[in-house]
Structure 1
Amino acid sequence: MLKKQTVWLLTMLSLVVVLSVYYVTAPKDMNDSVAFMNDQTKTNDGKEKAKGDAAVQETEAKGEKVTSSIASDDVFTALRLQIEDQRSRLRDQLNAVVASTSATAEQKSEAMDKIQQLEALAEKEATLETLIKSKGGYEDVLVRADGDTVRVTVKAKTSSKQAANEIIQLVKSELKDMQDIAVEFQPTK
């Protein structure tokens, strides 16, 4: 009887250790969102097409065309989800390198550094979006940093060179190493 208890205790302890290792190496920002959107829509004959400001989906119902449009708010949301999905996949790959037994310590260290850079970049993008919205009074802002380029899309009633310059200065103050900054204004409806 004592041997069975010992085996059971060792099994439970090993389970606790395995779960602890999983918890420590698991990504911190698990995305639990249920719905996913895509900014490309399909027509009834299966061809995909992408629209600039708003995506349009057409279907035929009893010989009539029924058209529905997705507002530009949804386009901003879809782009945010797409960026988050790409970064989540990259983060998963980097976490796999960190958890790998065949990776060297240097590779694991580089992967951890890249994970931290991704998290810092996402945080700075969110900060910039909030800062630009509050300072400019814009309806919506999307900041996308990729490599050494930053693309800022602003939903505003009017656009001006002065407003674009202020946005560029805000981005430069927050992301000092970025030199290629593009600002795009989208009209509100």
Structure 2
Amino acid sequence: MVKKQTVWLLTMLSLVVVLSVYYVTTPDSPPTNPVTTPMKEGKEAAKEQGASEKTNAKEEKETVFGTGDDYFAQLRLNLTEKRDEMKERLQEVMGSASVSAEKKNEAYDQLQELDNVEAKEAVLETLIKTNGYKEVLVRADGEEVRITVKAQKSSAKEANKIIQLVRGELGTKNVAVQFEPIQ
């Protein structure tokens, strides 16, 4: 009887370990649920295709640059990719055996500065969002800070308020605020 319980316990523990490893190693991706729509036939489909090809330049511009959440997501993605590449290069320098200790220290300092900038950007985004804005993206690059805000209306007063907030947090002189309309 004891042997069966031991085997059962070990089997269950093994199962828990295997499932834990599987859960930890699988990438986090939202479940996809493809939606099927009936195919349109004949003249109706051709008419819609012809209509979709007749777009004006303004619509094409919006498609290229995106609007709304897509625009912010694309900007964030580009910024993240750029910074990840910079971090990777700096970590390669730090890990290289042929690089002097001085260069490694410089790379480490740059990596720490990059992390600090990211943290300050996150704090600023949160502070600006608390002022009633739906979406905010802060991009700090050296002495320049570019802020893109999704808002119902844009005014010089609101932009000045955001600029003062950024200057208070970062002490940066060059701040640009861009308003994107909510759609």
TM class, shorter-chain normalised?
A: 0.5 to 0.7
Q: Secondary structure at the match of 2:97?
A: coil
Amino acid at match of 1:102: S
Considering Cα pairs closer than 8 Å and 6+ residues apart, tell me whether 1 or 2 has the greater RCO. Answer: 2
String of CA shifts for 1:43-68, please: whole Å, max 9, x gaps.
xxxxxxxxxxxxxxxxxx75714489
Amino acid at match of 1:99: G
- In the alignment, what sits opposite 1:170? 165
Q: Spell out structure 1 runs of 4+ moving beyond 3 A.
A: 32-35, 65-71
Q: In the TM superposition, what is the alpha-carbon distance from 1:183 to its structure 2 partner?
A: 0.7
Residues 128/186 of structure 1: CA separation in 2 closer, same or farther (3 Å cut): same
Q: Secondary structure at the match of 1:145?
A: strand
Is 1:84 the equivalent of 2:83? Answer: no
Q: In the TM superposition, what is the alpha-carbon distance from 1:71 to its structure 2 partner?
A: 3.9
Q: In the TM superposition, what is the alpha-carbon distance from 1:186 to its structure 2 partner?
A: 1.1
In 2, distance between residues paired with 1:166 and 1:159?
A: 12
Aligned length: 131
Q: Of Structure 1 and Structure 2, which has the larger fraction of its residues in helix?
A: 2
- What is the RMSD of the two structures over their aligned residues, measured on CA atoms? 2.3
In 1, distance between residues paired with 2:78 and 2:154?
A: 26
What does 1:142-157 correspond to in 2, within 5 Å? 142-157=137-152
Amino acid at match of 2:74: A
State, as a whole percentage, how many aligned pairs show the same letter. Answer: 45
In 2, distance between residues paired with 1:62 and 1:33?
A: 39
Q: Structure 1: any 5+ residue segments left out of the alignment?
A: 1-31, 36-60
- In the alignment, what sits opposite 1:133? 129
Residues 111/171 of structure 1: CA separation in 2 closer, same or farther (3 Å cut): same
String of CA shifts for 1:20-56, please: whole Å, max 9, x gaps.
xxxxxxxxxxxx7779xxxxxxxxxxxxxxxxxxxxx
Q: Of Structure 1 and Structure 2, which has the larger fraction of its residues in strand?
A: 1
- The structure with the largest alpha-carbon Rg is 2
TM-score, length basis structure 2: 0.66
In 2, distance between residues paired with 1:141 and 1:157?
A: 13
Q: Structure 2: any 5+ residue segments left out of the alignment?
A: 1-26, 31-44, 54-58
